[in-house]
Structure 1
Amino acid sequence: MPRETLTPRERVLKAINHQEPDRVPIDISAVDEVMDALIDYYGITVNDEEVKIYMGADGRVFERKRNKAQLLLLERLHVDFRWAWAPYIGPELKAYPDGSRDGLFGIRRGGLFFGYALEHPLKDAQSVKDIEAYPWEEYANVDHYDYEQFVQECKDFHEAGYAVYGGPWAPIAFWAMDLMGMDNFMIAMYDKPEVAATLVEKIADFYYRQAEIMFQKGEGFIDIFFMGDDYGIQNGLMMNRKLWKKFFAPHLERLWKLAKSYGLKVQLHSCGSVRDLIPDFIEMGLDVLDPIQVRARGMVPEELKKEYGNQLAFHGSMDTQETLPFGSREDVKNEVLHRLKTMAPGGGFIISPSQHLLTEIPLENIVTMYETAYEYGFYSLIHKMR
């Protein structure tokens, strides 16, 4: 097997800059239950794990109990990226007898994994005054996070040579729909555009202020601003392009300009069919698109590579809808090899799951994906395969 010649950061940045590094960079996204299963699979043990309280992108407050073990797992899987997080240190949030609890923006959430909104606090909002009267500073306060911990993680990962993700996840549309209710928000974009616009602006302003703090404090130690939202569904956009450009594009663009003012690459997550927005993403300065939901309309990886591969890098594409949960180990291996042969040449490709790895995916398929990606992901081998 060929040997690595670059640090993870060098490898990732070369790939994003459309150059061929020593091998294709590798990343992971998985729920904690899958991470725990992989930790046990590889026999990783750590003593005296420190428990920290985090608030996830979905607003859940959760305990991270196996952080050190997860970091060792990332090494074992040859993952080139590390996330730096700012733990939640704000007031204790209300918990309910059914196990649900209040989270970001004052939304009560429940359910498995990322959960879902059990209540929509702004469902009855009819005016701009209704939006402005909501207690934003109480439920979404930039001072409720431990930025010193964030900076320390940035420094530690940077010094270890990894590509560092830093900044808020900033799912602006996600929160607008959860605060008002998806149907109410969609209707408001037409019937009460000033109300919808004010709601989106309030959410975006919170994330912009948080991004300013994180980029400033972590300056020199962050490589990529990775934010996410979902604008697509299986067969097309969740809203038409005109509405997306009116309500969301300006806020993404100002976040991306802020990130680039600190020298960061910008990576956007959006599930579903977002092909119709890719020209806008490129014009706005996006560097990397994630996760490439390959079974959504128009999201065929090799087609995207051919059409946009000189302007945009791609992150993800390992199918979590069919191949990983329902395929054989051979199916998984073949999909990895196909991605390497069709997406990796010329750089601009990072291999990772197309969505979070959930517990329904057989562990052996996950292991096969990562072992194959590393074993065959060296460019000297990829060129021979082609």
Structure 2
Amino acid sequence: MKLTHKERFLATINYEPVDRPASWLGLPVPQAESALTSHFGVNSVDELRSKIDDDIYPIEVPYKYEPSNHIACAFKFAKVDHLDSPDERTLTAPGFFEDYNDPADVDKFDWPDPEKYLDREESLRRAKAVDPDYVRMGVMWSAHFQDACSAFGMEQALMTMLMAPDMFQAVIDRITDFYLKANEIFYETTQGYLDAVLIGNDFGSQTGLMVDPELLRTHVFPGTKKLIDQAKSYGLKVIHHSCGSIFPIIDDLIELGVDVIHPIQALAADMDAAHLKEHYYGKIAFCGGVDAQYLLVKGDAKSVSEKVEELKRLFPTGLVISPSHEAILPDIPPVNIQAMFNSINKMK
């Protein structure tokens, strides 16, 4: 029996039998959209999602704060005189707090109020416009750790975490409070029209964690827990994003209440599907698995199809099959996206 998109997603993340694995295309960047729509003979990404029978519909938060107009770029921490392009978000440029070590100084930054910039009317319009058969997923990000790195400049942030932990905590707590307020506005406004949310931070490099797990447990995960609990209080499934090799903190994410771990970066250390199945099959659901660093970019359609079939054998359920990065970049040939979904959509 063919399941609906929502039924398939819920069955997949609960390790129940499915007609085929749940899927998510991801977020095609604007530079990739024209090639995709042309290849598939459609006029929009919405039509593309329908044609490939995708299961998750991402709903971006309408946040109007110039120049980026994106909730992930809500804080202007970067020092303009250090940047060639001051309007671009960066983790590595020196940030506003780079020379501060007294928590009392946290109020010297002009903290934005999400109530001023988050468009409630547009939030509801976007959520109501989505066919309720889809899994309607709010793309919240709420990247409090990454924003804390921007607040100091990444190297200085990690040093502050060790040398002046109260200062780091004061900043990341204020960032977390911002997201809790912004998310509450969005959840209240879209209540009844949302099924899941995507939040997260990049904790991993290609070979391992960027930060000692104990530091994450002390300074970062308490905020993560608040964000997860908030979403769950609205009955939403939580998909937690982190690029890179994050194997050492998967147990932590499970304990924090995450429903799905995204994007299982296929070529990162210890993140291949076979290794994750060995340790976590039945314990936590995953999303990703189709390598977007090499396979989707350089591989051929046959190789992509073979990888999807391998993933389906390893995870007959429990894995939302998706590229191993949320963004579909213009270097991915559309024919490989077609091959991926042709294989996903083969019914049992």
Fold-level similarity (TM above 0.5): yes
In structure 2, the residue matched to 1:134 is 109
Confirm whether residue 247 of structure 1 aligns to residue 219 of structure 2. Answer: yes
Cα deviation for residue 219 of structure 1 reads 1.8
- Over 3 Å counting, the alpha-carbon distance change for 1:168 and 1:186 in structure 2 is same
Cα deviation for residue 8 of structure 1 reads 0.8
In structure 1, the residue matched to 2:59 is 84
Which of 223, 226, 234 aligns to 1:262? It is 234
Confirm whether residue 22 of structure 1 aligns to residue 19 of structure 2. Answer: yes
Tell me, what secondary structure is at the counterpart of 1:281? helix
CA deviation digits over 1:112-142, x for unaligned, max 9?
A: xx863555232222321332210002xx533
Using structure 1 for the length normalisation, give the TM-score.
Answer: 0.82
Q: How many residues align?
A: 337
Confirm whether residue 182 of structure 1 aligns to residue 179 of structure 2. Answer: no
Which of 260, 276, 296 aligns to 1:324? It is 296
Which of 29, 42, 45 aligns to 1:44? It is 42
CA deviation digits over 1:333-384, x for unaligned, max 9?
A: 11111111112x2x2111100012222222322222222222x2x2x2xxxx
Letter of the structure 2 residue corresponding to residue 292 of structure 1: I
8 Å CA contact 2:272, 2:289 repeated in 1: no
8 Å CA contact 2:290, 2:321 repeated in 1: yes
In structure 1, the residue matched to 2:127 is 154
Which of 352, 361, 370 aligns to 2:322? It is 352
CA deviation digits over 1:254-310, x for unaligned, max 9?
A: 111111111111110001111110111111111100000121111121221232121
In structure 2, the residue matched to 1:209 is 181
Cα deviation for residue 110 of structure 1 reads 7.5
8 Å CA contact 2:132, 2:193 repeated in 1: no
Confirm whether residue 289 of structure 1 aligns to residue 261 of structure 2. Answer: yes
Confirm whether residue 338 of structure 1 aligns to residue 310 of structure 2. Answer: yes
C-alpha separation in 2, matches of 1:201 and 1:15: 34
Using structure 2 for the length normalisation, give the TM-score.
Answer: 0.90
8 Å CA contact 1:142, 1:206 repeated in 2: no
Cα deviation for residue 94 of structure 1 reads 9.2
Query: Structure 2 matches for 1:163-242, cutoff 5 A?
Result: 163-166=135-138, 168-242=140-214
Cα deviation for residue 37 of structure 1 reads 1.4
**Uncovered stretches (5+) of structure 1, i.e. residues with no partner:** 46-68, 96-101, 381-386
Percent identity (aligned): 30
C-alpha separation in 1, matches of 2:94 and 2:252: 33
C-alpha separation in 1, matches of 2:143 and 2:16: 30
CA deviation digits over 1:209-259, x for unaligned, max 9?
A: 111122222222211121121011111111011000011110111111111
Tell me, what secondary structure is at the counterpart of 1:321? coil
C-alpha separation in 2, matches of 1:313 and 1:94: 33
Letter of the structure 2 residue corresponding to residue 365 of structure 1: N
Compare 242-251 and 297-306 and name the one that shifted more: 297-306
Cα deviation for residue 103 of structure 1 reads 4.7
- Over 3 Å counting, the alpha-carbon distance change for 1:327 and 1:110 in structure 2 is farther
- Over 3 Å counting, the alpha-carbon distance change for 1:12 and 1:94 in structure 2 is closer
**Uncovered stretches (5+) of structure 2, i.e. residues with no partner:** none
Compare 184-193 and 146-155 and name the one that shifted more: 146-155
8 Å CA contact 2:58, 2:139 repeated in 1: no
Tell me, what secondary structure is at the counterpart of 1:232? coil
C-alpha separation in 1, matches of 2:7 and 2:126: 19
8 Å CA contact 2:103, 2:167 repeated in 1: yes
